[in-house]
């Protein structure tokens, strides 16, 4: 069996590279400036497998700041804004689906 990181990347529309920030687990997106942003609007959007592989390679090289980088589909709304392209990414984009417990004194 081939691991996901060794499988050929299939791109069928616009995609971004996303991961989780090491410091706090926040969802982050790889930008055209080769940096991470918590704002999906800042993400570098590409539409071909070679472009996505290049973004992914850069993002994975920055494993001290973010982990588990992968390519995620996106879509553009009527105004041209980038939106998550599937249910998993809509959930990650929107944050936890439950109320988190409140902790005091931390």
Residue 6: what pLDDT? 57
- Domain residue ranges in the chain: 9-87
pTM: 0.83
Do residues 7 and 20 touch, judged by C-beta distance below 8 A? no
| Residue-wise pLDDT tens digits, 6-55 | 568 888 899 999 999 999 899 999 999 999 999 999 999 999 999 999 99
Q: Are 70 and 56 in contact (CB under 8 A)?
A: yes
Looking at residue 105, its pLDDT comes to 59
Nearest in space to 72 (alpha carbons), one of 57, 51, 52: 52
Please, which pLDDT band fits residue 95 given cuts at 50, 70 and 90?
A: confident
With a CB cutoff of 8 Å and minimum separation 6, the contacts of 39 are: 29
Average pLDDT rounded to a whole number, residues 68-92: 94
């Amino acid at each position: 069996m081939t691991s996901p990181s060794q499988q050929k990347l299939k791109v069928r529309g616009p995609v971004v590279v996303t991961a989780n920030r090491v410091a706090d687990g926040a969802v982050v997106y790889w930008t055209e400036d080769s940096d991470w942003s918590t704002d999906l609007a800042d993400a570098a959007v590409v539409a071909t497998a070679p472009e996505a592989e290049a973004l992914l390679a850069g993002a994975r090289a920055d494993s001290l700041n973010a982990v588990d980088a992968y390519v995620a589909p996106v879509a553009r709304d009527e105004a041209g804004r980038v939106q998550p392209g599937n249910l998993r990414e809509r959930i990650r984009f929107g944050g936890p689906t439950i109320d988190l417990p409140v902790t005091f004194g931390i």
